[in-house]
């Protein structure tokens, strides 16, 4: 029994390991995408916690409706009760919901606080939305690093070295990903270009969703826990190509990030190619990484 369980677990791990590197929605997915930041862990926990209240309440209301419809229907109950007050019941149905709301409000405010209170950050990236692409600007770097990020065109796949559709899915992959180091607190400034429209920066695995408004600088943060390639989308209807301005964040080790950043200032395509070669090549490099980790 135990052995069967272990085999099952191993199989499931293998199944997800292949898809796990690029964090994106899966066919028939239930629940959220796998969390990759502390905030998303908290959101996921709060979702499940809320369900503990919602499910019994929904079932209770359904049961009451069924009982009332059957027991008090005109044919079974020709003379209806004329009761208009019942102090005990009124106290219960006032205090009950107050208590329930109290138990929901406390963790809800905690979560809001955690999202809105930006911890001391290690770096700042400004994301600017335009119809219909994103621009990323790294603040406070030795040399300025800023670039546009467009959805990857199918015709550009081969040239970009992004032929693997599992890692670089259609409609989600981009030409230039935002690159950040793992385990670092990234302060994210989000806006839209002047005289553009409202967009929204959303990254489900990070629990991030914030409006990009022209003339307004919104601020949020994330701290990615594991390396990988994460996908999100513009989440505010912004015109005909709203569906075609995805967001891709590549989380890499600090060393690789620093190497990338240094090269990206002068040669972004070269920096991206070098980074991809380092992280995408599976077996060989993983073994090297594992050895380095020891």
Interface with Cu ion (CB under 5 A): 199, 234, 238
Pick the closer one to Cu ion by CB: 132 or 260: 132
CA angle 129, 135, 140 (to 5 degrees): 120
Which residues, 6 or more positions from 265, have their beta carbon under 8 angstroms from its beta carbon?
Answer: 141, 142, 143, 144, 145
Pick the closer one to Cu ion by CB: 175 or 223: 175
Q: Which SS3 state, helix, strand or coil, does residue 113 take? A: helix
Taking the complex as a whole, how short is the minimal distance between the CB of residue 252 and Cu ion, in angstroms?
Answer: 26
Pick the closer one to Cu ion by CB: 43 or 238: 238
Pick the closer one to Cu ion by CB: 90 or 241: 241
How far apart are alpha carbons 224 and 256 in whole angstroms?
Answer: 15
User: Quick check: 194 and 215 in contact, CB under 8 A?
Assistant: yes
Taking the complex as a whole, how short is the minimal distance between the CB of residue 144 and Cu ion, in angstroms?
Answer: 25
User: Quick check: 224 and 37 in contact, CB under 8 A?
Assistant: yes
Taking the complex as a whole, how short is the minimal distance between the CB of residue 236 and Cu ion, in angstroms?
Answer: 6
Taking the complex as a whole, how short is the minimal distance between the CB of residue 134 and Cu ion, in angstroms?
Answer: 9
Which residues, 6 or more positions from 128, have their beta carbon under 8 angstroms from its beta carbon?
Answer: 134, 135, 136, 137, 190, 191, 192, 193, 212
Taking the complex as a whole, how short is the minimal distance between the CB of residue 238 and Cu ion, in angstroms?
Answer: 3
Pick the closer one to Cu ion by CB: 40 or 197: 197
């Amino acid at each position: 029994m135990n052995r069967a369980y272990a085999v099952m677990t191993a199989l499931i791990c293998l199944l997800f390991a292949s898809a796990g590197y690029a964090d994106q929605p899966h066919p028939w997915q239930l629940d959220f995408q796998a969390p990759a930041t502390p905030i998303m862990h908290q959101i996921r926990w709060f979702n499940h916690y809320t369900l503990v209240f919602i499910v019994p309440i929904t079932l209770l209301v359904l049961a009451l409706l069924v009982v009332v419809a059957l027991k008090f229907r005109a044919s079974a109950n020709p003379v209806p009760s004329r009761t208009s007050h019942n102090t005990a019941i009124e106290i219960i149905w006032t205090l009950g919901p107050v208590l329930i709301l109290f138990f929901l409000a406390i963790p809800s405010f905690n979560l809001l606080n955690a999202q809105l209170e930006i911890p001391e950050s290690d770096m700042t990236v400004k994301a600017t939305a335009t119809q219909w692409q994103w621009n990323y600007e790294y603040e406070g770097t030795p040399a300025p690093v800023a670039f546009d990020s467009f959805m990857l065109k199918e015709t550009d796949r081969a040239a970009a070295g992004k032929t693997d559709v599992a890692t670089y899915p259609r409609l989600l992959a981009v030409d230039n990903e935002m690159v950040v180091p793992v385990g670092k607190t990234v302060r994210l400034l989000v806006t839209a270009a002047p005289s553009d429209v409202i967009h929204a920066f959303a990254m489900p695995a990070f629990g991030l969703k914030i409006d990009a408004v022209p003339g307004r600088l919104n601020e949020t943060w994330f701290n990615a826990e594991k390396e990988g390639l994460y996908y999100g989308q513009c989440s505010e209807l912004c015109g005909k190509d709203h569906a075609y301005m995805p967001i891709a964040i590549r989380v890499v080790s600090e060393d690789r990030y620093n190497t990338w950043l240094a090269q990206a200032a002068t040669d972004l395509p070269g920096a991206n190619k070098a980074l991809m070669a380092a992280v995408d090549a599976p077996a060989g490099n993983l073994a090297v990484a594992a050895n380095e980790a020891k």
